[in-house]
Amino acid sequence: MTFPGEGVDSAGFDDDRIILEQILGGEKELFRLVVKRYEPAIHGMGLGFFRNEEDALDFTQEVFLKVFRGLNSFEGRSRFSTWLFKIAYNTAINSVKRKKDYKSLADDDVVPDMDTPERKTLRKIIKEAVLESVNDLPERFRICVDLFFFYERSHEEIEMITGYPVNTIKSHVFRAKKLLRSKLEDYIEGGIE
């Protein structure tokens, strides 16, 4: 079995293809390798959506259960990771619609603490301002920003995950950056990095 969306040149794609072929060939126990590879990202997505460890763990387990049960339906027209993220995204959105509790993944630590106490304090203040600004974005912008910047998904992958057209995604990311820039203008003009 070959998966046309997979490529040998990108990290993990060929490995995914080989593992998936073996799992679909009957070696179900190899699914643990899929879980090991993608669990941190899916768990991180869960934390971003639900903001607590218990719900994030439940979400992660639910996603991998859905992926395992639906593995036969993966047609390989996209990267496996894109298909997995789409399942995760849809699971999260459906749960959030029930809970109405989405918060951006941008709340995760982005900047390492490697400076003087003054710089650390300054970075903390800036981070809080950025996070507040990101959380104030309309949900459709926030989701695109999270997937693009925090999960490093391409516009095409975000389209497959969210169902938004690529041009809409580009527009959402552009508008989100513009909104963030204007909200954070005081920090930028003050020379704060």
Q: Residue ranges per domain, the chain?
A: 1-103, 106-193
Statement: residue 8 has pLDDT above 50: no
pLDDT band at 141 (very low <50, low <70, confident <90, very high): confident
pLDDT, tens digit, 9 for 90 and up, residues 41-86 = 899 888 877 878 999 999 999 999 999 999 999 988 888 988 999 8
| Helical (H) or strand (E) element with 189 | helix 185-189
**Phi and psi of 171, rounded to 5°?**
-65, -45
How many angstroms separate the CA atoms of 36 and 33, rounded? Answer: 5
pLDDT, tens digit, 9 for 90 and up, residues 95-126 = 866 554 445 444 444 444 456 787 777 777 77
How many angstroms separate the CA atoms of 164 and 3, rounded? Answer: 24
How many angstroms separate the CA atoms of 49 and 100, rounded? Answer: 10
pLDDT of residue 33: 94
Cα-based distances in Å from 156 to 32, 41, 163? 28, 19, 10
How many angstroms separate the CA atoms of 61 and 65, rounded? Answer: 6
**What's the gap between Cα 183 and its chain centre?**
24
**What's the gap between Cα 185 and its chain centre?**
27
168-191 burial by CB neighbour count: b if 16+ within 10 A, else e?
bbbebbebbeebbeebbeebeeee
The whole-model pTM stands at: 0.58
How many angstroms separate the CA atoms of 111 and 106, rounded? Answer: 11
CATH class of 1-103: mainly alpha
Closest CA relative to residue 72, chosen from 29, 35, 38, 23: 23
How many angstroms separate the CA atoms of 97 and 89, rounded? Answer: 12
**Topology of 106-193 in CATH?**
Arc Repressor Mutant, subunit A (1.10.10)
DSSP state, residue 77: S
- Same CATH fold assignment for domains 1-103 and 106-193: no
Better pLDDT: 51 or 2: 51
pLDDT of residue 99: 55
End-to-end, the C-alpha distance of the chain in Å comes to 50
